[in-house]
Structure 1
């Protein structure tokens, strides 16, 4: 096998996100439900026989230029290091998920690279080993490797797939990403961050999964970036119930099928999209074929 093309890397939304504590090493303990959506990046992998890892940005006009050393290249090198693999890869990335949005785009890219390169290099690593490698790259990477909507806790490494039927299979969301992003370290280090929310109960969540709990990071996001407040207000004026996803700055709200947002009130430099839910990471089916 010389290449794998059109590998999807979907974004996620945090239907809620509670901070329940903090470990001695500084990592925050969370409880959240991660929902996959169809706003996604696309990755193409080509085998290199010289052992080198290279990356090409195919959509540089879609946003800010990618750094030379992004999560895709780091994932590839981490997999090489863990296995002693002598193969290399050229990674082509069609980047559509906005950065500093709280949508997990970089982590999803890393997970898709790990899954794809495990196949391209014929390594045969089990999912559990890929998750160990993924966790060294970012707390959200193991979720994308599992590839199913899940109840996530710990620092992101405890992943429990949600029972079938708990989430609506055809739920739609209006997602707005303001022009300004939010750096995750600034959110988690802020003194105003609430870090002692009581543990959530999954059966209570299941009663109304799209109006449960809150995002504990949102209060800090609103303090740091006024555009978060503006985005929330835009959704509220359209009769929706919004909240921030992850560490922001993207906000989202459930909306009816066929909902047409009033795009005239959304600044032209912002990104917006009506997204559909995914029940399973689409790369899983591709790699099984």
Structure 2
């Protein structure tokens, strides 16, 4: 591969359609069961060969991140891959940060996963999928599921994945109340009993899909609202939009989502929320269905 090669890969937003806390390990990590899907909205990474390893950040949320290694999971992932592959090759990584930070939609995890994928290509690293997953889980619980960005049931501490059928085509509205939410604080605030593990199968019909989701929940919703009360306002705003079939918090917050039978209804709902709350981050999107592809730019 030429030293002038520039590679690009999307880092799509992750949505927890449900999230059940099923137990807790002695070391404090929690066991989860979550239906994870991905959207066409997300960040994007570009990598190109360099002698050393550097990172620049662009995009609307660039100011909320630092390029320092200690605070950036993209550089942590790159250095972990260097170590695992026993390589001294470098790269310049450009992160286009389009998603809010600390928002419950896996932005950092998807970015780290994309870095692992692209640098493996750039550096001609041929590690088994399990090795990439092991690197990912050491960085964050959501990184393994973000490596392939496919619909999956995520369980354990994020290390156990079961592929499931993608959701039926529908409209999705994502809304964030412009307030970052710290995941440890949400788990600390959670007092409810643990949930039972289910046996999810994805219905092909939108109505049946919504009904199936209604039998589940996000166990972190109540504690997240205690940590960040604006989440309650966001959920309320989504719930009164025309055609909204389901409203829920993703992950530990603070991004919430609404599901609609079609993209036209979702577009109208997003426009209505933006008009009422211009200070919030809000957009209409769809679920993605298909593999991620590294492209040359």
Q: TM-score, normalised by structure 1?
A: 0.91
The total of aligned residue pairs comes to: 279
1:32-59 Cα distance to aligned partner (Å, 9 max, x none): 100110111111101112xx21100122
| Aligned-residue offset at 1:65 | 3.7
Pair 129,220 (structure 1): closer, same or farther in 2 beyond 3 Å: same
Partner of 2:86: 84
Q: CA deviation at 1:188?
A: 1.2
Alignment of 1:234-249 (within 5 A): 234-239=237-242, 240=244, 241-249=246-254
Match of 1:276 in 2: 286
**What SS is found at the alignment partner of 1:136?**
helix
Question: 3-state DSSP class of the match of 1:188?
Answer: helix
Unaligned runs of at least 5 residues, structure 1: none
Alignment-derived partner of residue 214 in structure 1: 217
- C-alpha displacement at 1:279, in angstroms? 1.7
Superposition deviation, residue 201 in structure 1: 2.1
Give 1:103 deviation, angstroms. 0.1
TM-aligned CA deviation for residue 212 of structure 1 = 3.6
Contact map agreement 1:41 1:93 (CA 8 A) in 2 = yes
CA contact (8 A) 1:9 1:42 kept: yes
Q: TM-score, normalised by structure 2?
A: 0.88
Instruction: Note the 1:3-152 alignment, pairs <5 A.
Output: 3-49=5-51, 52-59=52-59, 64-69=64-69, 70-152=72-154
Q: How does 1:214-233 map to 2 (within 5 A)?
A: 214-233=217-236
Q: 1:216 to 1:67 in 2, by over 3 A?
A: farther
Contact 1:63 1:98 in 2 (8 A): no
Q: 2:261 aligns with which of 238, 246, 256?
A: 256
Compared CA separation, residues 39 and 212, structure 1 to 2 (3 A):
farther
Structure 2, unaligned stretches of length 5 or more? none
Rounded Cα–Cα distance in structure 2 between residues aligned with 1:250 and 1:101: 5
Q: Which runs of 4+ in 1 moved over 6 A?
A: none
